[in-house]
């Protein structure tokens, strides 16, 4: 007879529960028998408490909560055993049958799983079941604290107060996080400590067991051993704790909502959530002046509060976005910030490159001041390169500098403008002529936001990815030739890898020359294709008819053509670049734009570009793919000749 899947899962859970309980009883009988023998034969100093190495370790006592253990429990061998049982080290030597039940996802292997939540959330009961089903040790932080201190937690609160308890709790948790894979249940207040949260982020995957107030009140109704529930109004106490702690618990990596279902069912929900969890990629940008991470993953907009809270001093932020992006993503970001207790307000600007001007900048600054920002109020740029440059410049100059966060939502901004700290606006004299170097505190790249982009925007962003390989990584450009079509067609995994590799390349270049001060090469190499591209954008008047990435794509082709004309690279390299640009659906030469240009006018735009030095045009040229260099001695006649060959009038 075939057993229906729901019944099969229930029978399997019952079998697991039986194995765990039987194993626990066997171990408890063994421990009680040994204690009875200890009554007549005292233990020698340093001898093991059990055959799994659970010792009365002098180092543990040195890190414990009390100068000496509480005498009532220190005298009780049975109480010591019960503390060990609560810690469940005995439970964790699970049978081979239990170990074979589930395999940990690759992202969790080698890391501890930490359960957090309020009292009554089920951290211990779920933790034991989770450990059994994953074949891992289980550790209960509260039981370990009682073992280390030699007395119960209520006694610790009564004798020494909560502050002293929390200090010792940190020390015990630091030890618990130091080992190999295990399931660890934290006490309700442990995750409130910022150092503990930081250590948990480094060494573990955290899971918040989130319960509503009625569920918690029912579960703790009969508990008399909770120091924070000494008053009779459990609902008011728990409500107050929820208000303070839930915004912090929301920083956990995984959130599982728990109700009145059976513990086995909640355990299954936790396992499903862990199996689905994909840790975001983290790329460090290390500069002489600062350091920050580029965090890359799917669904990060909804997690904005959890990701920003550790890097911002205050939970107050102004989110700057354009009308189009705000309609798509603002609610998600605000909800994510609100879940972590952020106070927020918004500034909305018109969409498009034409917004990136001095008047818009002054308007944003005025709205920030009207919102009464303070020096710890963060400015969050939510949008593409225009919003990032505009909001970043406003953050750099308002009150002489506000914390700045980049949440880029276009492919171009994710791989280029959000990383490196360049901010600014255009003037009628040219692009990005007024601005500042101002680094963000963090960059959140949500690859899911790319699904809302039209194909044209994806192609325009791709030009900056290919540019990274053309400048200094021939292997990456070869990878682009293989995967470029998948990137512009929306393959999420390939997009994430491309973003990470392009950002890593840019981070290395910026780290070596943050403010573009090197006389040759350095950060200026990132302008490959931009001298031509910016001239084209200026000719179009920044009206959106030519996107920045489209101008860069044509500029890359022109830079390679100019390099070949001057004898620096081969025709084969030129053809390879032009062919790849065309293969992803972008124009690769001026003729493709169906517009008549003047060579003199374009060169005039170039002479107003900020890359001019000593009145001379500076170009980024190439010796080949992945071999870019800067040059200040390009003959103007060669540039004009190239443009005429491309169909420009004189």
In this prediction, residue 228 carries a pLDDT of 63
In this prediction, residue 343 carries a pLDDT of 98
**pLDDT tens-place string over residues 77-99:** 444 443 344 344 433 434 333 44
In this prediction, residue 421 carries a pLDDT of 96
The CATH number that domain 5-276 falls under is 3.40.50.300
Q: What is the 3-state secondary structure (H, E, C) of 288-323?
A: CCCEEEEEEECCCCCCHHHHHCCCCCCCEEEEEEEH
Which tokens go with 534?
């910016």
Q: Which CATH number fits domain 487-645: 3.40.109.10, 1.20.1090.10, 3.40.190.10, 1.10.486.10?
A: 1.20.1090.10
Per DSSP, which regions of 568-638 are E strands? 619-622, 628-631
Q: Which residue has the tokens 């959130």?
A: 255
Q: Which of 555, 557, 510 is nearest to 530 (CA)?
A: 555
In this prediction, residue 149 carries a pLDDT of 81
Spatial neighbors of 255 by CB under 8 A, at least 6 apart, are 207, 208, 210, 273
The one-character DSSP state at 448 is G
Q: Could you report how far apart the first and last alpha carbons of the chain are, in Å?
A: 87
CATH 3.40.50.1970 boundaries in the chain: 281-453
In this prediction, residue 152 carries a pLDDT of 85
Q: Which residue has the tokens 């040759």?
A: 520
pTM: 0.82
Residue 295, CB half-sphere, CA atoms under 13 Å: how many?
A: 23
Q: Is the dihedral of CA 23, 26, 30, 35 positive or negative?
A: positive
In this prediction, residue 4 carries a pLDDT of 62
Query: Across the strands, what pairs with 381?
Result: 320, 406
DSSP string computed for 249-266: HTTSSEEEEE-SS-HHHH
CATH 3.40.50.300 boundaries in the chain: 5-276
Q: Is 111 helix (H, G, I), strand (E, B) or coil?
A: coil
CATH 1.20.1090.10 boundaries in the chain: 487-645
Q: Which CATH architecture has domain 281-453?
A: 3-Layer(aba) Sandwich (3.40)
Which tokens go with 255?
């959130």
In this prediction, residue 166 carries a pLDDT of 87
In this prediction, residue 424 carries a pLDDT of 97
In this prediction, residue 224 carries a pLDDT of 60
Which mean pLDDT values do the consecutive 10-residue runs of the chain (650 residues) have?
Answer: 56 50 50 44 35 34 43 43 40 39 71 95 96 94 87 84 87 91 95 96 96 92 65 83 96 94 94 93 95 97 97 98 98 97 98 95 98 98 98 98 98 96 92 95 98 96 98 98 97 96 97 91 95 93 91 97 97 98 95 92 88 79 98 93 94
In this prediction, residue 117 carries a pLDDT of 97
């Amino acid at each position: 007879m075939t057993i229906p899947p729901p019944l099969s899962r229930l029978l399997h859970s019952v079998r697991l529960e039986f194995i765990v309980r039987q194993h626990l009883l066997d171990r408890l009988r063994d421990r009680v028998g040994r204690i009875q023998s200890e009554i007549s034969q005292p233990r020698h100093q340093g001898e093991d408490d059990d055959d799994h190495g659970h010792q009365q370790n002098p180092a543990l006592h040195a890190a414990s909560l009390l100068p000496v253990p509480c005498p009532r429990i220190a005298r009780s061998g049975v109480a010591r055993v019960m503390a060990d049982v609560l810690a469940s080290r005995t439970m964790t030597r699970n049978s081979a049958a239990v170990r074979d039940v589930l395999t940990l996802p690759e992202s969790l292997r080698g890391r501890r799983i930490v359960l957090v939540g309020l009292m009554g959330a089920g951290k211990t009961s779920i933790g034991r079941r989770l450990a059994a089903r994953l074949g891992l040790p289980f550790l209960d932080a509260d039981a370990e604290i009682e073992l280390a201190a030699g007395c119960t937690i209520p006694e610790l609160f009564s004798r020494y107060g909560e502050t002293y308890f929390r200090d010792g709790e940190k020390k015990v948790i630091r030890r618990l996080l130091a080992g190999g894979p295990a399931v660890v249940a934290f006490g309700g207040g442990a995750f409130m400590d910022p150092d503990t949260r930081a250590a948990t982020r480094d060494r573990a995957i955290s899971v918040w067991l989130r319960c509503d107030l009625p569920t918690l009140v029912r579960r703790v109704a009969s508990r008399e051993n909770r120091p924070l529930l000494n008053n009779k109004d459990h609902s008011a106490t728990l409500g107050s704790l929820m208000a303070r702690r839930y915004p912090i618990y929301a920083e956990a990596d995984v959130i599982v909502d728990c109700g009145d279902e059976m513990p086995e069912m909640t355990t299954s929900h936790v396992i499903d959530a862990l199996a689905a969890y994909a840790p975001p990629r983290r790329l460090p940008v290390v500069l002489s002046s600062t350091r920050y991470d580029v965090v890359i993953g799917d669904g990060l907009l909804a997690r904005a509060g959890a990701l920003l809270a550790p890097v911002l001093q205050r939970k107050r932020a102004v989110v700057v976005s354009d009308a189009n992006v705000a309609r798509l993503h603002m609610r998600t970001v605000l909800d994510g910030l609100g879940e972590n207790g952020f106070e927020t307000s918004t500034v909305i600007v018109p969409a498009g490159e034409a917004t990136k001007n001095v008047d818009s900048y002054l308007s944003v600054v005025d709205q920030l001041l009207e919102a009464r920002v303070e020096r710890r109020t963060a400015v969050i740029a939510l949008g593409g390169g225009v919003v990032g440059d505009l909001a970043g410049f406003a953050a750099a100059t308002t009150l002489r500098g506000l914390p700045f966060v980049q949440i880029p939502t276009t492919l171009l901004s994710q791989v280029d403008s959000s990383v490196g700290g360049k901010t600014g606006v255009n003037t009628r004299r040219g692009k990005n002529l007024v601005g500042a170097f101002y680094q963000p505190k963090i960059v959140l790249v949500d690859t899911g936001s790319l699904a809302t982009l039209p194909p044209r925007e994806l192609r325009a962003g791709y030009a900056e990815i290919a540019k990274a390989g053309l400048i200094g990584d021939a292997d990456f450009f070869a990878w682009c030739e293989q995967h470029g079509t998948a990137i512009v067609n929306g393959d999420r995994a390939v997009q994430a890898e491309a973003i990470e590799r392009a950002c890593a390349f840019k981070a290395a270049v910026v780290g070596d020359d943050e403010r573009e001060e090197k006389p040759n090469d350095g950060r200026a190499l990132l302008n490959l294709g931009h001298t031509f591209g910016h001239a084209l954008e200026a000719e179009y008047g920044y009206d959106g008819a030519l996107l920045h990435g489209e101008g860069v794509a044509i500029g890359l082709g022109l830079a390679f053509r100019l390099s070949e004309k001057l004898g620096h690279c081969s025709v084969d390299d030129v053809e390879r670049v032009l062919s790849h640009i065309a293969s992803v659906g972008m124009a690769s030469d001026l003729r493709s734009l169906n517009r008549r240009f003047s060579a003199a006018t374009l060169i005039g735009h170039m002479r107003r570009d900020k890359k001019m030095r000593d009145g001379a045009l500076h170009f980024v040229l190439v010796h080949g793919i992945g071999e870019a260099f800067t040059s200040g001695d390009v003959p103007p006649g060669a540039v004009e000749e190239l443009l005429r060959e491309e169909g420009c009038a004189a």
